[in-house]
Structures are given as structure tokens and as C-alpha cells.
Amino acid sequence: MIPIGRVRNECKEPSLKHREGDLEMSGAGVTSRDMVSELEVDPRFQDALDGVEGFSHIVVVYWTGLRKLERLKVHPAGQQDIPLKGIFSTRSPARPNPLAITTVELLEREGNVLRVRGLDAIDGSMLVDLKPFLPIYDIPPWSAIPQWMEEIMSRFSD
């Protein structure tokens, strides 16, 4: 795997941190889906961006830089009142391979730099891939999430 670029933004530390093999919400880090980031794509991949500006949203795949989590279960989003869940049932950045994906609003493209809103990555995170958001593929005709995830999402909605 080779990096295709880096994330640039004002967020210098992750919101979730390791705490005794579990996760803890630090209160710092990414706290708003309104934060604007720049995706600085390596100039050798600039031509691969041609056409992306026609999309309102893109999917960003990035390496979180968070060390691997040694446990297979965590309290989702560091919420101790939510029972332990398997790491693959969470969106936690602490994973065996700390890859993350986020769908973001594409604000503009200038050469090899994309300005986006809503990326939950810290400054300097390595970009792995970019894909256009396609509703026909990225929004299933129906979906369901468990009640505990609905509870977590309601706690962090802006």
C-alpha cells in the first residue's frame, strides 16, 4: 500500500484514545462534522482527480495512525454505559488495521488539493484512496442499525 497524500486540518489529536485496553473519548480532537480539511494529494496522482469536482460528496479512505487495539471488544465511542461490542461492529479507528472511511462533502478542487467538510481525521493522516460517493452503491435500499448505535449517534449529533 502506498499513500496517495495527506490530510491537513486543525485537528492535532484523536477524539478517541486508548485507556487500559479500551477506548476513551478525550473531548479533544474531531468534534464537529463542520470542520473543513484539505486533502493534499501527491502531485504524481493529480491527473487521477480529473472529474472529481463534479461530485458533491466523496468517500475518503485513510490510515488513522492510531496504534492497533489489542482487544476484540470495546465500549463503542468510549461510552462506558454501552456494553462491550466487537470492534467490527463499531466505527472506531482502533482496529487491527487502522483504516477508516468517511463520506465527506467536496467543497472545491484546486489542482492536487481537495477542500472537504466533515472528515473525522487528524492532521497528517495518510490518504489511502478516494472514491466518488454514488448513491446507487453507497446507500442500500434499506438498512438497520442496533438501538445502542442509535443512542451513540444521538449523543454526538450536532
User: What dotted CATH number matches 5-156?
Assistant: 2.40.30.70
Q: Residue 40 has which C-alpha cell?
A: 493534499
The confidence band for 15, taking pLDDT boundaries of 50, 70 and 90, is low
CA Rg value for the chain: 16
- Is pLDDT larger for residue 26 or for residue 78? 78
Domain ranges within the chain, ordered by starting residue: 5-156
Residues of the chain with pLDDT > 90, as a percent, come to: 45
> How many other CB atoms are found less than 10 A from the CB of residue 103?
15
What is residue 47's predicted lDDT score, i.e. its pLDDT?
98
DSSP category for residue 45: G
In this prediction, residues 44-57 reach a mean pLDDT of 97
φ/ψ of residue 143, rounded to 5: -155, 160
In this prediction, residues 103-127 reach a mean pLDDT of 95
CA atoms within 13 A on the CB side of 71: 16
Burial 41-52 (b: 16+ CB within 10 A, else e): beeeeeeebeee
Q: Bin 117: left if φ > 0, else alpha if -120 < ψ < 50, else beta.
A: beta
Place of cell 495512525: 65
φ/ψ of residue 125, rounded to 5: -55, 145
Q: Residue 19 has which C-alpha cell?
A: 485507556
Give the containing element (helix H, strand E) for 136.
Answer: helix 135-138
pTM: 0.82
